[in-house]
Protein backbone atom coordinates (compact mmCIF):
# COMPACT_ATOMS: atom_id res chain seq x y z
CA UNK A 1 0.00 0.00 0.00
CA UNK A 2 1.36 3.42 -0.94
CA UNK A 3 0.33 6.66 0.67
CA UNK A 4 0.14 9.40 -1.97
CA UNK A 5 0.81 13.03 -1.15
CA UNK A 6 -2.89 13.80 -1.57
CA UNK A 7 -3.91 11.01 0.78
CA UNK A 8 -1.37 12.18 3.31
CA UNK A 9 -2.75 15.70 3.08
CA UNK A 10 -6.25 14.52 3.94
CA UNK A 11 -4.85 12.35 6.70
CA UNK A 12 -3.12 15.45 8.02
CA UNK A 13 -6.37 17.44 8.00
CA UNK A 14 -8.20 14.65 9.79
CA UNK A 15 -5.47 14.45 12.42
CA UNK A 16 -5.60 18.18 13.04
CA UNK A 17 -9.37 18.11 13.44
CA UNK A 18 -8.99 15.23 15.88
CA UNK A 19 -6.43 17.20 17.82
CA UNK A 20 -8.60 20.32 17.94
CA UNK A 21 -11.47 18.31 19.44
CA UNK A 22 -9.39 17.03 22.35
CA UNK A 23 -9.54 18.47 25.86
CA UNK A 24 -6.32 18.99 27.77
CA UNK A 25 -7.76 19.54 31.26
CA UNK A 26 -5.16 17.28 32.88
CA UNK A 27 -2.25 18.55 30.78
CA UNK A 28 0.71 20.61 31.95
CA UNK A 29 4.46 20.99 31.59
CA UNK A 30 6.39 18.22 33.32
CA UNK A 31 9.71 16.36 33.57
CA UNK A 32 10.01 12.65 32.84
CA UNK A 33 10.55 10.86 36.16
CA UNK A 34 13.87 9.39 37.18
CA UNK A 35 11.99 6.19 38.17
CA UNK A 36 8.83 6.06 36.00
CA UNK A 37 6.23 3.30 36.41
CA UNK A 38 6.16 2.42 32.69
CA UNK A 39 7.20 3.57 29.24
CA UNK A 40 3.84 5.23 28.48
CA UNK A 41 3.92 8.97 27.77
CA UNK A 42 0.20 9.25 28.64
CA UNK A 43 0.58 7.93 32.22
CA UNK A 44 0.64 10.93 34.59
CA UNK A 45 2.54 9.03 37.28
CA UNK A 46 5.54 8.83 34.91
CA UNK A 47 5.96 12.62 35.15
CA UNK A 48 6.92 15.19 37.76
CA UNK A 49 4.53 16.73 38.67
CA UNK A 50 1.96 14.01 37.98
CA UNK A 51 0.49 15.44 34.81
CA UNK A 52 0.85 14.54 31.14
CA UNK A 53 2.43 17.19 28.87
CA UNK A 54 -0.29 17.43 26.24
CA UNK A 55 -1.34 20.96 25.33
CA UNK A 56 -0.06 23.70 22.97
CA UNK A 57 1.71 25.50 25.85
CA UNK A 58 3.33 22.47 27.48
CA UNK A 59 7.00 21.59 27.68
CA UNK A 60 8.16 18.00 28.13
CA UNK A 61 11.59 17.81 29.75
CA UNK A 62 13.95 14.83 29.93
CA UNK A 63 17.00 14.40 32.14
CA UNK A 64 18.39 11.49 34.14
CA UNK A 65 16.07 8.45 34.16
CA UNK A 66 16.09 4.69 34.54
CA UNK A 67 13.63 4.40 31.62
CA UNK A 68 14.78 6.01 28.39
CA UNK A 69 12.37 4.35 25.95
CA UNK A 70 8.94 5.98 25.74
CA UNK A 71 5.87 5.29 23.64
CA UNK A 72 2.87 7.30 22.52
CA UNK A 73 0.29 4.69 21.61
CA UNK A 74 -3.09 5.54 23.10
CA UNK A 75 -3.92 9.06 21.99
CA UNK A 76 -2.47 12.01 20.12
CA UNK A 77 -0.12 14.29 22.01
CA UNK A 78 0.62 17.98 21.47
CA UNK A 79 3.40 19.94 23.14
CA UNK A 80 5.10 23.24 22.51
CA UNK A 81 8.63 22.07 23.26
CA UNK A 82 10.61 18.94 24.07
CA UNK A 83 13.78 19.65 26.06
CA UNK A 84 16.66 17.26 26.73
CA UNK A 85 18.69 18.62 29.63
CA UNK A 86 22.45 18.61 29.87
CA UNK A 87 23.63 15.17 30.94
CA UNK A 88 20.43 13.41 29.82
CA UNK A 89 20.81 9.84 28.59
CA UNK A 90 19.92 8.97 24.97
CA UNK A 91 16.12 8.70 24.81
CA UNK A 92 13.91 7.07 22.18
CA UNK A 93 10.35 8.35 21.80
CA UNK A 94 8.21 6.00 19.69
CA UNK A 95 4.94 7.10 18.12
CA UNK A 96 2.96 3.90 17.53
CA UNK A 97 -0.15 3.70 15.33
CA UNK A 98 -1.43 0.48 16.85
CA UNK A 99 -4.48 2.12 18.46
CA UNK A 100 -6.25 4.40 15.99
CA UNK A 101 -5.03 7.92 15.27
CA UNK A 102 -1.80 8.41 17.17
CA UNK A 103 0.31 11.46 16.39
CA UNK A 104 2.85 13.68 18.07
CA UNK A 105 2.36 17.41 17.43
CA UNK A 106 5.17 19.83 18.28
CA UNK A 107 3.77 23.31 17.76
CA UNK A 108 5.99 25.78 19.65
CA UNK A 109 9.77 25.96 19.95
CA UNK A 110 10.30 22.36 18.88
CA UNK A 111 13.06 20.12 20.16
CA UNK A 112 15.87 21.61 22.25
CA UNK A 113 18.70 19.17 22.78
CA UNK A 114 21.25 20.27 25.39
CA UNK A 115 22.32 16.72 26.26
CA UNK A 116 25.25 16.44 23.87
CA UNK A 117 24.06 12.99 22.70
CA UNK A 118 21.68 11.83 19.96
CA UNK A 119 18.00 11.74 20.90
CA UNK A 120 15.64 9.63 18.77
CA UNK A 121 12.04 10.03 17.60
CA UNK A 122 10.64 6.91 15.96
CA UNK A 123 7.49 6.66 13.87
CA UNK A 124 5.90 3.50 12.53
CA UNK A 125 2.96 2.30 10.49
CA UNK A 126 0.88 5.39 9.79
CA UNK A 127 1.82 7.27 12.96
CA UNK A 128 2.72 10.90 12.32
CA UNK A 129 5.12 13.38 13.90
CA UNK A 130 4.09 16.97 13.04
CA UNK A 131 6.15 20.11 13.53
CA UNK A 132 4.36 23.39 12.84
CA UNK A 133 4.44 27.12 13.45
CA UNK A 134 8.15 27.89 14.05
CA UNK A 135 9.07 24.56 15.63
CA UNK A 136 12.48 23.09 14.90
CA UNK A 137 13.69 19.49 14.93
CA UNK A 138 16.81 20.73 16.72
CA UNK A 139 20.30 19.27 16.67
CA UNK A 140 21.64 15.80 17.46
CA UNK A 141 18.13 14.48 16.85
CA UNK A 142 17.42 11.31 14.88
CA UNK A 143 14.02 10.72 13.26
CA UNK A 144 13.43 7.22 11.90
CA UNK A 145 11.43 4.02 12.03
CA UNK A 146 9.90 1.81 9.35
CA UNK A 147 7.19 3.70 7.46
CA UNK A 148 7.52 6.72 9.71
CA UNK A 149 5.49 9.81 8.77
CA UNK A 150 7.14 13.16 9.46
CA UNK A 151 5.54 16.53 8.61
CA UNK A 152 6.82 20.10 8.63
CA UNK A 153 4.29 22.91 8.18
CA UNK A 154 4.07 26.69 8.40
CA UNK A 155 7.66 27.89 8.97
CA UNK A 156 8.85 24.80 10.84
CA UNK A 157 12.47 23.74 10.40
CA UNK A 158 14.30 20.41 10.28
CA UNK A 159 17.22 22.12 11.99
CA UNK A 160 20.35 20.01 11.85
CA UNK A 161 18.53 16.78 12.66
CA UNK A 162 19.02 13.45 10.87
CA UNK A 163 16.11 11.66 9.14
CA UNK A 164 16.07 8.04 8.01
CA UNK A 165 12.94 7.62 5.88
CA UNK A 166 12.05 4.04 4.89
CA UNK A 167 9.06 1.87 4.04
CA UNK A 168 8.10 -1.39 5.71
CA UNK A 169 6.69 -3.34 2.77
CA UNK A 170 3.11 -2.36 3.63
CA UNK A 171 3.20 1.36 4.33
CA UNK A 172 5.33 3.95 2.60
CA UNK A 173 7.57 6.15 4.71
CA UNK A 174 7.18 9.90 4.16
CA UNK A 175 8.94 13.09 5.12
CA UNK A 176 6.93 16.10 3.97
CA UNK A 177 7.67 19.83 3.97
CA UNK A 178 4.68 22.14 3.38
CA UNK A 179 4.08 25.90 3.33
CA UNK A 180 7.26 27.85 4.15
CA UNK A 181 8.96 25.06 6.04
CA UNK A 182 12.63 24.27 5.52
CA UNK A 183 15.02 21.33 5.61
CA UNK A 184 17.59 23.80 7.00
CA UNK A 185 20.87 21.92 7.70
CA UNK A 186 19.30 18.48 8.08
CA UNK A 187 20.76 15.20 6.84
CA UNK A 188 18.08 13.10 5.13
CA UNK A 189 18.38 9.50 3.88
CA UNK A 190 15.41 8.17 1.89
CA UNK A 191 15.23 4.55 0.72
CA UNK A 192 13.03 1.52 0.06
CA UNK A 193 10.47 3.50 -2.01
CA UNK A 194 9.90 6.04 0.75
CA UNK A 195 9.52 9.68 -0.33
CA UNK A 196 10.71 13.05 0.88
CA UNK A 197 8.43 15.76 -0.51
CA UNK A 198 8.66 19.55 -0.75
CA UNK A 199 5.44 21.38 -1.61
CA UNK A 200 4.11 24.92 -1.49
CA UNK A 201 7.00 27.28 -0.86
CA UNK A 202 9.02 24.74 1.08
CA UNK A 203 12.79 24.67 0.62
CA UNK A 204 15.54 22.09 0.84
CA UNK A 205 17.77 24.96 2.08
CA UNK A 206 21.23 23.58 2.93
CA UNK A 207 20.16 20.01 3.59
CA UNK A 208 22.12 16.93 2.58
CA UNK A 209 20.06 14.20 0.88
CA UNK A 210 20.99 10.59 0.07
CA UNK A 211 18.38 8.62 -1.84
CA UNK A 212 18.68 4.91 -2.70
CA UNK A 213 16.74 1.74 -3.59
CA UNK A 214 13.72 3.38 -5.20
CA UNK A 215 13.46 6.23 -2.71
CA UNK A 216 12.49 9.65 -3.97
CA UNK A 217 12.82 13.36 -3.31
CA UNK A 218 9.88 15.18 -4.92
CA UNK A 219 9.56 18.92 -5.46
CA UNK A 220 6.03 20.23 -6.03
CA UNK A 221 4.25 23.59 -6.24
CA UNK A 222 6.77 26.45 -6.15
CA UNK A 223 9.18 24.56 -3.90
CA UNK A 224 12.93 24.88 -4.27
CA UNK A 225 16.02 22.72 -3.89
CA UNK A 226 17.86 25.90 -2.80
CA UNK A 227 21.47 24.99 -1.93
CA UNK A 228 20.80 21.37 -1.02
CA UNK A 229 23.24 18.57 -1.82
CA UNK A 230 21.60 15.48 -3.35
CA UNK A 231 22.88 12.01 -4.27
CA UNK A 232 20.75 9.37 -6.01
CA UNK A 233 21.71 5.73 -6.58
CA UNK A 234 20.21 2.24 -7.01
CA UNK A 235 16.99 3.59 -8.51
CA UNK A 236 16.84 6.61 -6.23
CA UNK A 237 15.31 9.61 -7.97
CA UNK A 238 14.04 13.16 -7.80
CA UNK A 239 11.08 14.65 -9.69
CA UNK A 240 10.33 18.36 -10.14
CA UNK A 241 6.73 19.36 -10.96
CA UNK A 242 4.44 22.43 -10.82
CA UNK A 243 6.87 25.35 -11.08
CA UNK A 244 9.44 23.85 -8.73
CA UNK A 245 13.08 24.90 -9.17
CA UNK A 246 16.45 23.28 -8.60
CA UNK A 247 17.79 26.75 -7.70
CA UNK A 248 21.50 26.35 -6.83
CA UNK A 249 21.30 22.77 -5.66
CA UNK A 250 24.05 20.22 -6.26
CA UNK A 251 22.85 16.90 -7.67
CA UNK A 252 24.72 13.65 -8.38
CA UNK A 253 22.96 10.68 -9.97
CA UNK A 254 25.04 7.50 -9.85
CA UNK A 255 24.99 4.78 -12.47
CA UNK A 256 24.18 1.19 -11.58
CA UNK A 257 26.85 -1.08 -10.13
CA UNK A 258 25.53 -4.23 -11.86
CA UNK A 259 23.71 -4.97 -15.12
CA UNK A 260 20.51 -5.98 -13.30
CA UNK A 261 20.33 -2.82 -11.21
CA UNK A 262 18.98 0.67 -11.81
CA UNK A 263 20.90 3.89 -11.70
CA UNK A 264 19.69 7.14 -10.23
CA UNK A 265 17.51 9.47 -12.24
CA UNK A 266 16.42 13.11 -12.23
CA UNK A 267 13.20 14.31 -13.90
CA UNK A 268 11.90 17.80 -14.64
CA UNK A 269 8.25 18.03 -15.72
CA UNK A 270 5.64 20.74 -16.09
CA UNK A 271 6.90 24.31 -15.96
CA UNK A 272 9.94 23.54 -13.83
CA UNK A 273 13.55 24.63 -14.16
CA UNK A 274 17.00 23.30 -13.40
CA UNK A 275 17.81 26.99 -12.81
CA UNK A 276 21.43 27.43 -11.66
CA UNK A 277 21.84 23.91 -10.32
CA UNK A 278 24.91 21.73 -10.76
CA UNK A 279 24.20 18.20 -12.01
CA UNK A 280 26.51 15.20 -12.47
CA UNK A 281 24.97 12.22 -14.30
CA UNK A 282 27.33 9.28 -13.96
CA UNK A 283 27.63 6.16 -16.07
CA UNK A 284 27.27 2.52 -15.08
CA UNK A 285 30.07 0.91 -13.09
CA UNK A 286 30.09 -2.65 -14.49
CA UNK A 287 29.75 -4.39 -17.83
CA UNK A 288 26.32 -3.54 -19.25
CA UNK A 289 25.31 -1.57 -16.14
CA UNK A 290 22.88 1.26 -16.79
CA UNK A 291 23.92 4.85 -16.54
CA UNK A 292 22.01 7.45 -14.58
CA UNK A 293 19.42 9.47 -16.54
CA UNK A 294 18.31 13.09 -16.43
CA UNK A 295 15.14 13.89 -18.42
CA UNK A 296 13.30 17.11 -19.25
CA UNK A 297 9.57 16.61 -19.98
CA UNK A 298 6.68 18.87 -20.99
CA UNK A 299 7.60 22.58 -20.68
CA UNK A 300 10.57 22.11 -18.36
CA UNK A 301 13.79 24.03 -18.98
CA UNK A 302 17.41 23.42 -18.12
CA UNK A 303 17.72 27.10 -17.22
CA UNK A 304 21.32 28.20 -16.64
CA UNK A 305 22.38 24.94 -15.04
CA UNK A 306 25.73 23.19 -15.38
CA UNK A 307 25.08 19.59 -16.40
CA UNK A 308 27.70 16.91 -16.89
CA UNK A 309 27.12 13.39 -18.22
CA UNK A 310 30.05 11.06 -17.55
CA UNK A 311 30.90 7.87 -19.34
CA UNK A 312 30.54 4.45 -17.81
CA UNK A 313 33.41 2.48 -16.33
CA UNK A 314 34.28 -1.22 -16.72
CA UNK A 315 31.96 -1.49 -19.74
CA UNK A 316 29.03 0.40 -18.24
CA UNK A 317 26.60 2.57 -20.18
CA UNK A 318 27.10 6.32 -20.12
CA UNK A 319 25.08 8.81 -18.15
CA UNK A 320 22.32 10.28 -20.32
CA UNK A 321 20.61 13.69 -20.58
CA UNK A 322 17.33 13.64 -22.51
CA UNK A 323 14.86 16.19 -23.84
CA UNK A 324 11.28 15.36 -24.82
CA UNK A 325 7.96 17.11 -25.52
CA UNK A 326 8.35 20.93 -25.49
CA UNK A 327 11.24 21.07 -23.03
CA UNK A 328 14.07 23.51 -23.57
CA UNK A 329 17.79 23.64 -22.84
CA UNK A 330 17.77 27.35 -22.00
CA UNK A 331 21.26 28.72 -21.35
CA UNK A 332 22.53 25.52 -19.73
CA UNK A 333 26.12 24.35 -20.08
CA UNK A 334 26.52 20.67 -21.02
CA UNK A 335 29.71 18.68 -20.59
CA UNK A 336 29.85 15.16 -22.03
CA UNK A 337 32.66 12.64 -21.47
CA UNK A 338 33.27 9.10 -22.73
CA UNK A 339 29.95 7.50 -23.63
CA UNK A 340 28.07 10.05 -21.56
CA UNK A 341 25.46 11.50 -23.89
CA UNK A 342 22.88 14.15 -24.73
CA UNK A 343 19.83 12.79 -26.59
CA UNK A 344 17.11 14.98 -28.17
CA UNK A 345 15.58 12.30 -30.39
CA UNK A 346 12.24 12.27 -28.55
CA UNK A 347 11.80 16.04 -28.49
CA UNK A 348 8.28 16.92 -29.57
CA UNK A 349 8.80 20.17 -31.50
CA UNK A 350 11.82 19.07 -33.50
CA UNK A 351 14.03 21.93 -32.21
CA UNK A 352 15.97 21.97 -28.95
CA UNK A 353 17.99 25.02 -27.94
CA UNK A 354 20.84 24.74 -25.42
CA UNK A 355 23.54 27.03 -24.09
CA UNK A 356 26.76 25.18 -24.93
CA UNK A 357 28.34 21.74 -25.32
CA UNK A 358 31.88 20.69 -24.48
CA UNK A 359 33.80 17.49 -23.89
CA UNK A 360 34.37 14.27 -25.83
CA UNK A 361 31.09 12.40 -25.33
CA UNK A 362 28.13 11.67 -27.59
CA UNK A 363 25.23 13.71 -28.95
CA UNK A 364 22.22 11.89 -30.44
CA UNK A 365 19.92 13.97 -32.64
CA UNK A 366 17.56 11.35 -34.00
CA UNK A 367 15.52 13.22 -36.62
CA UNK A 368 15.50 16.45 -34.59
CA UNK A 369 17.28 19.80 -34.78
CA UNK A 370 19.69 21.09 -32.14
CA UNK A 371 20.60 24.78 -31.75
CA UNK A 372 23.77 25.36 -29.72
CA UNK A 373 25.23 28.59 -28.33
CA UNK A 374 22.46 30.51 -26.55
CA UNK A 375 24.75 31.35 -23.59
CA UNK A 376 27.40 32.93 -25.90
CA UNK A 377 30.20 30.85 -24.36
CA UNK A 378 33.14 29.52 -26.38
CA UNK A 379 33.69 25.75 -26.06
CA UNK A 380 35.24 22.78 -27.83
CA UNK A 381 33.51 19.46 -28.48
CA UNK A 382 35.64 16.55 -29.72
CA UNK A 383 33.03 13.80 -29.37
CA UNK A 384 30.60 12.52 -32.00
CA UNK A 385 27.33 14.17 -33.03
CA UNK A 386 25.12 11.63 -34.79
CA UNK A 387 21.60 10.59 -35.72
CA UNK A 388 19.93 7.77 -33.78
CA UNK A 389 19.76 7.47 -30.02
CA UNK A 390 16.65 6.35 -28.14
CA UNK A 391 14.38 7.37 -31.04
CA UNK A 392 16.51 5.68 -33.72
CA UNK A 393 15.56 8.57 -36.04
CA UNK A 394 17.70 9.93 -38.88
CA UNK A 395 18.16 13.34 -40.47
CA UNK A 396 19.26 15.27 -37.37
CA UNK A 397 20.54 18.79 -37.97
CA UNK A 398 22.66 21.35 -36.14
CA UNK A 399 22.51 25.16 -35.87
CA UNK A 400 25.18 27.41 -34.34
CA UNK A 401 23.64 30.39 -32.54
CA UNK A 402 24.99 32.95 -30.08
CA UNK A 403 28.12 35.09 -30.25
CA UNK A 404 30.59 32.52 -28.92
CA UNK A 405 32.97 30.20 -30.76
CA UNK A 406 32.08 26.52 -30.96
CA UNK A 407 34.78 24.17 -32.18
CA UNK A 408 33.90 20.72 -33.49
CA UNK A 409 36.97 18.46 -33.49
CA UNK A 410 35.38 15.06 -33.96
CA UNK A 411 34.29 13.04 -36.98
CA UNK A 412 30.53 13.67 -36.86
CA UNK A 413 27.97 11.61 -38.75
CA UNK A 414 24.60 13.40 -38.46
CA UNK A 415 22.91 13.78 -41.83
CA UNK A 416 20.49 16.72 -41.73
CA UNK A 417 22.90 19.57 -42.37
CA UNK A 418 24.50 22.45 -40.49
CA UNK A 419 23.52 26.11 -40.24
CA UNK A 420 25.56 28.99 -38.82
CA UNK A 421 23.26 31.82 -37.73
CA UNK A 422 25.56 33.72 -35.39
CA UNK A 423 29.00 33.61 -33.84
CA UNK A 424 31.74 31.29 -35.08
CA UNK A 425 31.71 27.60 -35.95
CA UNK A 426 35.22 26.16 -36.10
CA UNK A 427 35.78 22.83 -37.83
CA UNK A 428 38.87 21.11 -36.44
CA UNK A 429 38.55 17.41 -37.26
CA UNK A 430 41.35 15.41 -38.92
CA UNK A 431 39.24 12.47 -40.15
CA UNK A 432 35.70 12.09 -41.42
CA UNK A 433 33.57 15.22 -41.55
CA UNK A 434 33.26 17.82 -38.81
CA UNK A 435 29.74 18.65 -39.99
CA UNK A 436 28.34 15.24 -40.82
CA UNK A 437 27.22 14.33 -44.30
CA UNK A 438 24.75 17.15 -44.98
CA UNK A 439 25.17 20.63 -46.47
CA UNK A 440 26.54 23.62 -44.55
CA UNK A 441 24.76 26.98 -44.75
CA UNK A 442 26.36 30.08 -43.21
CA UNK A 443 23.64 32.74 -43.03
CA UNK A 444 25.48 35.02 -40.61
CA UNK A 445 28.58 34.68 -38.48
CA UNK A 446 31.80 32.91 -39.42
CA UNK A 447 32.90 29.45 -40.57
CA UNK A 448 36.52 28.67 -39.72
CA UNK A 449 39.00 25.92 -39.07
CA UNK A 450 41.60 23.53 -40.42
CA UNK A 451 39.16 20.62 -40.62
CA UNK A 452 37.27 18.65 -43.24
CA UNK A 453 33.67 19.19 -44.41
CA UNK A 454 31.88 16.55 -46.49
CA UNK A 455 28.79 18.43 -47.65
CA UNK A 456 28.36 21.40 -49.98
CA UNK A 457 29.12 24.74 -48.29
CA UNK A 458 27.31 28.02 -48.96
CA UNK A 459 28.61 31.26 -47.45
CA UNK A 460 25.86 33.90 -47.17
CA UNK A 461 22.20 33.88 -48.09
CA UNK A 462 22.41 36.39 -50.92
CA UNK A 463 20.54 39.13 -49.09
CA UNK A 464 21.58 38.76 -45.45
CA UNK A 465 23.67 40.86 -43.07
CA UNK A 466 26.85 39.13 -44.14
CA UNK A 467 28.61 35.82 -43.63
CA UNK A 468 32.34 35.10 -43.44
CA UNK A 469 34.61 32.21 -44.38
CA UNK A 470 37.90 32.61 -42.50
CA UNK A 471 40.02 29.43 -42.29
CA UNK A 472 42.55 30.76 -39.79
CA UNK A 473 40.16 32.24 -37.19
CA UNK A 474 41.41 31.06 -33.80
CA UNK A 475 44.43 29.23 -35.27
CA UNK A 476 48.03 30.20 -34.48
CA UNK A 477 49.08 30.23 -38.13
CA UNK A 478 47.51 30.27 -41.59
CA UNK A 479 45.65 27.07 -42.29
CA UNK A 480 43.67 25.14 -44.90
CA UNK A 481 39.99 24.26 -44.68
CA UNK A 482 39.04 21.26 -46.84
CA UNK A 483 35.64 20.84 -48.47
CA UNK A 484 34.96 17.56 -50.22
CA UNK A 485 32.01 19.07 -52.09
CA UNK A 486 31.33 22.47 -53.64
CA UNK A 487 31.80 25.95 -52.18
CA UNK A 488 29.53 28.86 -53.05
CA UNK A 489 30.07 32.50 -52.09
CA UNK A 490 26.75 34.38 -52.20
CA UNK A 491 26.47 38.14 -52.74
CA UNK A 492 26.67 38.89 -48.99
CA UNK A 493 29.68 36.62 -48.41
CA UNK A 494 33.24 37.56 -47.46
CA UNK A 495 36.34 35.42 -47.78
CA UNK A 496 38.67 36.62 -44.98
CA UNK A 497 42.17 35.37 -45.75
CA UNK A 498 45.14 35.75 -43.44
CA UNK A 499 48.77 35.75 -44.56
CA UNK A 500 51.95 35.48 -42.48
CA UNK A 501 55.00 37.09 -44.05
CA UNK A 502 57.19 35.52 -41.35
CA UNK A 503 56.13 32.02 -42.39
CA UNK A 504 55.52 32.91 -46.05
CA UNK A 505 52.21 31.13 -45.78
CA UNK A 506 48.55 32.03 -46.31
CA UNK A 507 45.14 30.57 -45.59
CA UNK A 508 43.74 28.22 -48.18
CA UNK A 509 40.32 26.86 -49.01
CA UNK A 510 40.20 23.52 -50.83
CA UNK A 511 36.88 22.76 -52.53
CA UNK A 512 35.48 20.49 -55.21
CA UNK A 513 33.96 23.25 -57.34
CA UNK A 514 33.80 26.97 -56.51
CA UNK A 515 31.21 29.59 -57.43
CA UNK A 516 31.53 33.30 -56.53
CA UNK A 517 28.39 35.35 -57.01
CA UNK A 518 28.41 39.03 -57.87
CA UNK A 519 28.90 41.19 -54.76
CA UNK A 520 30.98 38.70 -52.76
CA UNK A 521 34.02 40.31 -51.10
CA UNK A 522 37.63 39.31 -50.48
CA UNK A 523 39.61 40.65 -47.48
CA UNK A 524 43.29 40.02 -46.93
CA UNK A 525 44.92 40.45 -43.52
CA UNK A 526 48.72 40.42 -43.39
CA UNK A 527 50.72 39.68 -40.25
CA UNK A 528 54.49 40.11 -39.88
CA UNK A 529 57.07 42.57 -41.17
CA UNK A 530 59.25 40.25 -43.20
CA UNK A 531 59.74 41.47 -46.77
CA UNK A 532 58.87 38.81 -49.34
CA UNK A 533 60.54 38.52 -52.74
CA UNK A 534 58.65 40.02 -55.64
CA UNK A 535 56.54 37.45 -57.43
CA UNK A 536 55.91 35.29 -54.35
CA UNK A 537 52.71 33.35 -54.97
CA UNK A 538 50.16 32.02 -52.51
CA UNK A 539 47.26 29.70 -53.26
CA UNK A 540 44.12 31.07 -51.60
CA UNK A 541 41.53 28.80 -53.20
CA UNK A 542 42.36 25.36 -54.51
CA UNK A 543 39.62 24.04 -56.77
CA UNK A 544 39.80 20.25 -57.11
CA UNK A 545 36.97 20.19 -59.65
CA UNK A 546 37.67 19.80 -63.37
CA UNK A 547 35.60 22.94 -63.93
CA UNK A 548 37.14 26.38 -63.38
CA UNK A 549 36.10 28.70 -60.56
CA UNK A 550 32.97 30.54 -61.65
CA UNK A 551 32.79 34.29 -60.97
CA UNK A 552 35.07 36.71 -59.16
CA UNK A 553 35.15 38.71 -55.94
CA UNK A 554 33.67 42.16 -56.44
CA UNK A 555 36.64 44.02 -54.94
CA UNK A 556 39.43 42.23 -56.86
CA UNK A 557 41.77 43.15 -58.31
CA UNK A 558 41.43 46.94 -58.02
CA UNK A 559 39.96 47.61 -54.54
CA UNK A 560 42.45 48.74 -51.85
CA UNK A 561 43.46 45.94 -49.48
CA UNK A 562 45.99 45.42 -46.68
CA UNK A 563 48.26 44.27 -49.53
CA UNK A 564 47.53 44.55 -53.21
CA UNK A 565 46.10 41.36 -54.55
CA UNK A 566 45.86 40.31 -58.15
CA UNK A 567 44.36 37.34 -59.96
CA UNK A 568 45.84 35.63 -62.95
CA UNK A 569 42.62 36.28 -64.83
CA UNK A 570 40.05 38.96 -64.20
CA UNK A 571 37.30 37.01 -65.96
CA UNK A 572 37.48 33.28 -65.39
CA UNK A 573 39.73 32.38 -62.44
CA UNK A 574 41.50 29.08 -63.12
CA UNK A 575 41.73 26.07 -60.83
CA UNK A 576 44.14 27.82 -58.48
CA UNK A 577 43.62 31.41 -57.36
CA UNK A 578 47.07 33.02 -56.95
CA UNK A 579 48.10 36.24 -55.25
CA UNK A 580 51.23 38.24 -56.02
CA UNK A 581 52.76 40.69 -53.52
CA UNK A 582 54.69 43.64 -54.91
Residue 217 inside a domain? The answer is: no
Our count of domains for the chain comes to 3
- In this structure, the answer to whether residues 423 and 310 fall within a common structural domain is no
- In this structure, the answer to whether residues 79 and 124 fall within a common structural domain is yes
Of 369, 401, 433, at which residue does a domain stop? 401
- In this structure, the answer to whether residues 111 and 35 fall within a common structural domain is yes
Of 210, 238, 253, at which residue does a domain stop? 210
- In this structure, the answer to whether residues 70 and 146 fall within a common structural domain is yes
- In this structure, the answer to whether residues 393 and 436 fall within a common structural domain is no
Residue 281 inside a domain? The answer is: yes
One pLDDT digit (tens) per residue for the chain, 582 residues: 344 444 455 355 445 544 444 544 457 999 999 999 999 999 999 999 999 999 999 999 999 999 999 999 878 899 999 999 999 999 999 998 665 668 999 999 999 999 999 999 998 776 799 999 999 999 999 999 988 999 999 999 999 999 999 998 888 999 999 999 999 999 999 999 999 999 999 999 999 999 999 999 999 999 999 999 999 999 999 999 999 999 999 999 999 999 999 999 999 999 999 999 999 999 999 999 999 999 999 999 999 999 999 999 999 999 999 999 999 999 999 999 999 999 999 999 879 999 999 999 999 999 999 999 999 999 999 999 999 999 999 999 999 999 999 999 999 999 999 999 999 999 999 999 999 999 999 999 999 999 999 999 999 999 988 899 999 865 567 889 999 999 999 999 999 998 888 888 889 999 999 999 999 999 988 888 788 888 788 889 999 999 999 999 998 864 333 333 333 323 333 344 455 433
Residue 139 inside a domain? The answer is: yes
Residue 111 inside a domain? The answer is: yes
Residue 459 inside a domain? The answer is: yes
Q: Counting beta carbons within 10 angstroms of the beta carbon of residue 255, is it exposed (0 to 12), middle (13 to 18) or buried (19 or more)?
A: buried
- In this structure, the answer to whether residues 535 and 467 fall within a common structural domain is yes
- In this structure, the answer to whether residues 75 and 48 fall within a common structural domain is yes
Of 185, 210, 235, at which residue does a domain stop? 210
Residue 409 inside a domain? The answer is: no
- In this structure, the answer to whether residues 172 and 229 fall within a common structural domain is no
Residue 411 inside a domain? The answer is: no
Domain range for 184 is 1-210
Our measurement of the distance from residue 381's CA atom to the centroid of its chain's CA atoms, rounded to an integer in Å, reads 18
Cα 349 to Cα 355, 363, 369, 420: the distances in Å are 18, 18, 9, 20
- In this structure, the answer to whether residues 395 and 468 fall within a common structural domain is no
- In this structure, the answer to whether residues 137 and 206 fall within a common structural domain is yes
Find, among 208, 279, 282, 292, the residue nearest to 246 by Cα. 279
Residue 468 inside a domain? The answer is: yes
- In this structure, the answer to whether residues 427 and 541 fall within a common structural domain is yes
- In this structure, the answer to whether residues 340 and 426 fall within a common structural domain is no
Q: What per-residue string of b and e applies to 301-338 under the rule 16 or more CB within 10 Å gives b? A: bbbbbbbbbbbbbeebbbbbbbbbeebbbbbbbbbbbb
Amino acid sequence: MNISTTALFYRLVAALLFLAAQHHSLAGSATWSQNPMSTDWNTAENWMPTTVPNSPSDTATFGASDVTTLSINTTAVEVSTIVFNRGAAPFTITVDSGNGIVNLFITGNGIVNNSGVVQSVVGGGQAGVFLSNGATAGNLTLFGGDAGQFFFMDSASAGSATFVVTSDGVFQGNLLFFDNSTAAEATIATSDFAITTFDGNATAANGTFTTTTGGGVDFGTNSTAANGVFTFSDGGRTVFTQFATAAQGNFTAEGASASIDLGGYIDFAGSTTADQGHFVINGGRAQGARGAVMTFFEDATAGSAKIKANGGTSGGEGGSIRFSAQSDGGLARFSLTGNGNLDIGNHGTGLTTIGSIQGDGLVFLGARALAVGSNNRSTTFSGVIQDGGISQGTGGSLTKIGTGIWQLSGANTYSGGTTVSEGTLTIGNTTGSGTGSGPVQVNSGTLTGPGIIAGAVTIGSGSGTGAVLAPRRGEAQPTALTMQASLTYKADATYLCRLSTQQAKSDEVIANGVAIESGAQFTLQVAGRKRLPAGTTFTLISNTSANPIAGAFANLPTAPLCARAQTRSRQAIPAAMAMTLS
